[in-house]
Structures are given as structure tokens and as C-alpha cells.
């Protein structure tokens, strides 16, 4: 049984509920979309379902390649059964191509390839507006130990390699992305949260057209239409049938 239990955490676009198995949680993806530290908000019908389908597929790909994730199964569009994690308050950002805030803060060229990619870690804390951290600050704040940071970086690079290759094959360029990690009941560092157009920059591999939340940030184009397009590129009809879902 996967009945939704008590709500114990509500984020900007997802709600986390208890499960009858205390080691599991049920994550419900809402249709809310935010930008600018939550100052810009909207509600896009179907967004939560799209993001849950995209995340489920990408988590499955990572699992198939030997990486541990929070994901267990897609219960229905918009709802995922996951392992319960003790989340580490870090936003781990990997950048393959220079754009966005990176070129505003540093003298990179727009669309400059970054090789090897940059891994940036920010403090996930709304009160302090998610500032960038270095290892010394992370360790001093007791957010993570040095060996844990090394492990997170190693996992992040592997995720980048796996997803970049998969997405390239469906015509999508993985520009940059944000990950969140936690510890499972055994204390193992495990990938959590989601991987979707909300947390990644996706570009059309040929035209460099934006296929992610940047459209909402900039107030450009039909955001929901782009999310559906990305969902169709990443999630095959075969996957939908396997999950018991009608083709999109």
C-alpha cells in the first residue's frame, strides 16, 4: 500500500508525506513554479506531473548505472515513493557551460565550454539566501566532513557523465544542474530531491533553445509547452506503458 500519510515538509514545489514504512516517504510534485528566491511565483497545470515523470526516468538511469538514489518507484504521475533521507543542506551545482549567474559574477564568456566542469556548493538556507560556500566553511559549520565532500564531488561528476550522454542521444544539452544529497538509514550519502527542468538547464543541442525554468525566470515563451516537450524527449511511450500511464 502507498497511501499518503501525514504532511511533514512542504517546499517551494513539492510536498513530502509520511509512509506506513517509516523508512520511506511519499513525494508529491505540485504545479507551483518559483524564481528569484521565491519572489516570482505561478502555477502551471501539469508541471508537477511532467517533473515527476522526468525525474523518475533520470533516477532510473542513474540506478541502472550503479548510483544510489532516493527514488523507489513512480506511484502515479506527480507522486513518487522514495527512501527517507536526512538531507544535507547543500545545493551542489555542476556547470558544463558558462551562462546565467556564473557570467554575471565572473569573467566567463556566454556559452563558454567549461572543461573540466565546475562544481559549486551553496548553503541551502533561505534566511541567508543560499550563499556560495567553500570546504572550510562547510566543515566549520559541520554540514559535511571533508571525505563526504570528496564523495559528493565524485558522485556528481559521475551523474554528469551519465546524464550528459543520455540527454545528448535525445537531442538535449545538459548545460548545468543542481543536486541535493542526504543520508539514508545506514548513513550512506544518497542522491535525493529531483532532476527536472526546474533544477537543470537544458538546451536544444542544435539550436541552443532554452528548455527549462529559465523561460519562466525571464518571462519568455510558453513554459508549460516546453516542459511537456522535454518530458516527451526523455520519457518514452514504453516507459509510460511500463508505469501504467497513457501516452502523453
Tell me the sheet residues that pair with 113. Answer: 97
Predicted pLDDT at 164: 98
Model confidence pLDDT, tens digit, residues 65-79 = 999 999 999 999 999
All three cell numbers of 177, joined, read 544542474
Q: Are 203 and 123 in contact (CB under 8 A)?
A: no
User: Exposed e or buried b for every residue in 207-244, given b needs 16+ CB within 10 A?
Assistant: eeebbbbbbbbeeeeebbebbbbbbbbbbeeeebeebe
Tell me the sheet residues that pair with 217. Answer: none
User: Is pLDDT above 90 for 57?
Assistant: yes
Q: Comparing 7-84+224-242 with 86-218, is the CATH topology the same?
A: no
For the chain, the average pLDDT equals 96
**Using the 8-state DSSP alphabet, how is residue 230 labeled?**
H
- Say which CATH superfamily domain 86-218 falls into: ATP-grasp fold, B domain (3.30.470.20)
Which of 240, 196, 208, 244 has the alpha carbon at shortest distance from 33? 196
Peptide bond into 191 cis (omega under 30): no
Model confidence pLDDT, tens digit, residues 167-186 = 999 999 999 999 999 999 99
Model confidence pLDDT, tens digit, residues 17-56 = 999 999 999 999 999 999 987 789 999 999 999 999 999 9
Cβ neighbours of residue 104 under 8 Å, at least 6 residues apart?
Answer: none
Model confidence pLDDT, tens digit, residues 128-151 = 999 999 999 999 999 999 999 999
Residue with more model confidence, 248 or 180 = 180
Predicted pLDDT at 244: 92
Cβ neighbours of residue 11 under 8 Å, at least 6 residues apart?
Answer: none
Domain extent listing, the chain: 7-84+224-242, 86-218
Q: Are 97 and 135 in contact (CB under 8 A)?
A: no
Q: Are 175 and 164 in contact (CB under 8 A)?
A: no
Model confidence pLDDT, tens digit, residues 77-121 = 999 999 999 999 999 999 999 999 999 999 999 999 999 999 999
Predicted pLDDT at 36: 81
Answer yes or no: pTM beyond 0.85: yes
Predicted pLDDT at 15: 97
CATH dotted code for 7-84+224-242: 3.30.200.20
Tell me the sheet residues that pair with 123. Answer: 90
Predicted pLDDT at 246: 85
Of the pLDDT bands very low, low, confident and very high (cuts 50, 70, 90), residue 1 is: low
Q: Using CA atoms, how far apart are residues 181 and 190, in angstroms rounded to an integer? A: 6
Q: Give percent of the chain with pLDDT exceeding 90.
A: 94
Q: Using CA atoms, how far apart are residues 28 and 33, in angstroms rounded to an integer? A: 14
Amino acid at each position: 500500500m502507498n497511501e499518503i500519510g501525514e504532511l511533514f515538509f512542504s517546499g517551494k514545489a513539492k510536498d513530502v508525506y509520511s509512509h506506513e514504512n517509516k523508512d520511506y516517504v511519499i513525494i508529491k510534485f505540485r504545479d507551483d513554479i518559483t524564481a528569484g528566491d521565491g519572489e516570482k511565483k505561478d502555477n502551471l497545470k501539469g508541471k508537477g506531473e511532467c517533473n515527476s515523470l522526468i525525474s523518475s526516468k533520470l533516477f532510473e538511469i542513474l540506478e541502472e548505472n550503479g548510483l544510489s538514489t532516493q527514488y523507489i518507484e513512480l506511484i502515479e504521475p506527480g507522486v513518487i515513493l522514495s527512501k527517507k533521507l536526512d538531507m544535507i543542506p547543500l545545493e551542489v551545482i555542476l556547470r558544463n557551460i558558462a551562462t546565467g549567474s556564473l557570467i554575471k559574477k565572473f569573467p566567463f564568456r556566454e556559452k563558454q565550454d567549461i572543461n573540466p566542469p565546475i562544481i559549486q556548493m551553496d548553503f541551502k538556507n533561505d534566511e541567508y539566501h543560499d550563499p556560495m560556500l567553500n570546504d572550510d566553511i562547510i566543515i566549520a559549520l559541520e554540514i559535511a566532513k571533508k571525505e563526504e565532500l570528496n564523495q559528493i564531488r565524485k558522485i556528481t561528476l559521475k551523474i554528469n557523465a551519465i546524464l550528459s550522454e543520455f540527454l545528448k542521444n535525445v537531442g538535449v544539452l545538459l548545460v548545468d544542474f543542481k543536486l541535493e544529497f542526504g543520508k539514508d538509514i545506514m548513513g550512506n550519502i544518497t542522491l535525493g530531491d529531483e532532476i527536472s527542468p526546474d533544477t537543470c538547464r537544458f538546451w536544444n543541442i542544435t539550436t541552443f533553445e532554452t528548455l527549462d525554468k529559465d523561460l519562466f525566470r525571464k518571462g519568455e515563451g510558453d513554459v508549460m509547452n516546453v516542459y511537456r516537450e522535454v518530458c516527451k524527449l526523455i520519457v518514452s511511450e514504453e516507459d509510460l506503458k511500463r508505469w501504467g500511464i497513457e501516452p502523453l
